[in-house]
Amino acid sequence: MRKIRVSRYSGSETAVGEVASINGSKYIIYLYPERYPEISIGDILLIDSGIYHPIIVVDENIHRARREQGFTPLHTGHDELKEIYPDADRLYIYAISGVNVAYADEKGSVKTGFGPSPRLHDFAYDMEEEDKERLFLDEGDTPNFTILRYLLHGARDPILLREFIARNRDVITKLGDEREVFSAFFNAITEMNLGDAFLKTAIDDFLSIMGWRE
């Protein structure tokens, strides 16, 4: 079984943000302003929580002003504003929410499913491509998309699924033979009662994003 290298996800240097709140399997991560442009919906983040490393998929961006009334449209645009007030970002919250889909232990073994909750202020990291692959493989290293069941449990959203596939297309491509990969995908999404319309869209999106539509 392939493992991920958990040791490289430590310290504030490479972190993209910190855990700000936890609500069931949904975590809110506040991003460091300088890192927020890197993070999009569908990205996979790993949180260093000591022994365990919860893994989440970004499902929402929730940027806003720090105080309710603190935001006024100024006709300057973000870049100009930053020149005038270099500290402007401090007035804002750059946050995302993510759905817990897996966790890694200290040795880097990954398990799909909810792990122990992280602590507030635990660092979150953007996962490396080569480590992400592990999330789509089962213990025998064959393609497995059980992760989708956890993702869609938290957010039954065809667009989220579409984004998730698109953001991870390269990883998925490398998993193996296209038939094997497709079957794994199909098996996972049909294990949830998604409804015919969702199912159809999901399969369509998957095939077209992967470029496998004949």
DSSP state of 62: -
Cβ-based nearer residue to another protein, 54 or 143? 143
Q: Does 138 bind another protein (CB under 8 A)?
A: no
Q: Does 68 bind another protein (CB under 8 A)?
A: no
Q: Which of 205, 151, 144, 207 is nearest to 175 (CA)?
A: 144
* C-alpha to C-alpha distances, 83 to 45, 76, 86, 88, nearest whole angstrom: 31, 10, 6, 9
What residue ranges in 49-119 does DSSP mark as E strands?
Answer: 53-61, 64-65, 92-93, 95-104, 110-112
Cβ-based nearer residue to another protein, 18 or 205? 205
Cα separation of 26 and 44, whole Å? Answer: 13
Q: What is the CA radius of gyration of the chain?
A: 18
Of 82, 122, 199, 211, the one binding another protein by CB under 8 A: 199
Q: Does 180 bind another protein (CB under 8 A)?
A: yes
Q: Give min distance, CB of 11 to another protein, in A.
A: 43
Cβ-based nearer residue to another protein, 121 or 179? 179
Cβ-based nearer residue to another protein, 108 or 176? 176
Cβ-based nearer residue to another protein, 87 or 214? 214
Coil, strand or helix: which one is 177?
coil
Compute how many other C-beta atoms are within 10 angstroms of the C-beta atom of residue 182: 17
Q: Does 214 bind another protein (CB under 8 A)?
A: yes
| Cross-strand pairs, 124 | 17, 47
**Length of the chain in residues, anyone?**
214
Of 67, 75, 121, 179, the one binding another protein by CB under 8 A: 179
Q: Which region, judged by CB under 8 A, interacts with another protein, from 8-16, 37-45, 53-61, 178-186?
A: 178-186
Residues that bind another protein (CB under 8 A): 178-180, 182-183, 186-187, 190-191, 196, 199-200, 203-204, 207, 212-214
